[in-house]
Amino acid sequence: MEKRLFSGIQPSGDIHLGNYLGALKNWVALTKEYDSIFSVVDYHAITIPYDPSVMQQKILDAVAVCIAAGLDPNNCTLFIQSTVPEHTELAWILGTVTRMGDLERMTQYKQKSQQFNQNINLGLFAYPVLQAADIVIYKAEAVPVGEDQVQHIELTREIVRKFNATFGDTFPEPQAVLGKARRILGLDGQAKMSKSMGNTISLTEPAQVIQMKLNKAVTDPARIRRTDPGNPEICNIFSLHQYFSSEDEINHISFECRRAGIGCIDCKKILGEHIIAELSPINETYQTMRHDHDYLRQILETGSQRCRTIAQETMATVREKIGLR
Ligand code: TYM
């Protein structure tokens, strides 16, 4: 039987290059090898401040971008997390085998509770437990994510070990699967590219905006004048070239940058052209598909039905094992 894969994305803002390079591109590639399930995780998105009036739009945006970026609904299952309520039921149960101390150590929780310190809520604290439930309810073995999520997958493994040891073998221990792009920095060249940091290029940005944002992006901080030789290894623009440019181009840029043969503006122009060439077809498909609500809703309904069947089966076993039925 094909091994199963699960991953999720929050509908909390425009999907950006970090999501695309760190997760989405890998998802598309892995659908060839795995029975793949992807979820728009709306229950996770409500753990930080959000606007309920645009939530449905953002969910459909996320689904349309995922498909436009290459996820083929005929080759994978796509659904909205909250349409399979068993996720939250299992999260409650897994919460009883999760140590508070482990949750307190989670980097994402520490960052988010600092960033949104007016509402440090239980949902934010228990976020990784719901994430564990998302994965194990489908007995998924592979979880393709960016580096920032590895700690949550490690915790999922810990929760699985504790559950299996307490109630008998039930879930496999899932593995995080990382691609070439583990952590994409934002245009500030400092923090992780992230919706909440305002340092992103979104996949659906117009071409001129992409180039304009790149033109303002931080490069090698030590290179002040055009005539200064640069250090590609500490330049975020150079690191982005790794994902969009050919090996020859990368070698050429590295060589010329080091001897001040090429300036940051030209280097950004080359990168911009490549990014735009890759994103334009995605954006075009997105723009047409986004308005086809019937098509998107039908994909999501099919996905949700399949997931509910699997999730209900798992929950029947879980309830029996923990002595509730
Ligand atoms: P989200 O929406 O924050 O991120 C979605 C995916 O994008 C990756 N990512 C990045 N990768 C590299 N560089 C970046 N700058 C960058 N920014 C984001 C994330 O690692 C993630 O893979 N908690 C998950 C959502 C989730 C989930 C799950 C994932 C909920 N349940 C179960 C896997 C399995 C998240 O961070 O979503």
Set out the domains of the chain in order of their start, with CATH numbers: 4-185+293-322 (3.40.50.620), 204-286 (1.10.240.10)
Atom number, ligand 1, closest to the C-alpha of residue 9: 2
CB 36 less than 6 A from any atom of ligand 1? no
> Across 43-171, where does the E strand assignment appear?
77-80, 142-144
**How many angstroms separate the CA atoms of 229 and 260, rounded?**
4
**How many angstroms separate the CA atoms of 86 and 40, rounded?**
15
Atom number, ligand 1, closest to the C-alpha of residue 146: 20
Distance 105 CA to ligand 1 centre (A): 18
CB 219 less than 6 A from any atom of ligand 1? no
Q: What integer pLDDT is reported at residue 12 of this predicted model?
A: 92
Q: What integer pLDDT is reported at residue 197 of this predicted model?
A: 87
Q: What integer pLDDT is reported at residue 195 of this predicted model?
A: 84
Distance 224 CA to ligand 1 centre (A): 35
Strand, helix or coil for residue 61: helix
Taking a C-beta distance cutoff of 8 angstroms, is the pair 139, 172 a contact?
yes
Q: What integer pLDDT is reported at residue 196 of this predicted model?
A: 81
What parts of the chain have a pLDDT lower than 50?
none
Task: Compute CA distances 229 → 1, 183, 263, whole Å.
Answer: 55, 26, 9
Q: What integer pLDDT is reported at residue 325 of this predicted model?
A: 77
pTM recorded for the entire structure: 0.97
Q: What integer pLDDT is reported at residue 44 of this predicted model?
A: 98
Distance 59 CA to ligand 1 centre (A): 15
β-sheet bridge partners, residue 6 = 37
Taking a C-beta distance cutoff of 8 angstroms, is the pair 88, 41 a contact?
no
State both tokens at 92: 């409650």
CB 140 less than 6 A from any atom of ligand 1? no
Number of separate helices (H) and strands (E) present in the chain: 14, 5
**How many angstroms separate the CA atoms of 158 and 152, rounded?**
10
Taking a C-beta distance cutoff of 8 angstroms, is the pair 304, 84 a contact?
yes
CB 279 less than 6 A from any atom of ligand 1? no
Distance 158 CA to ligand 1 centre (A): 19
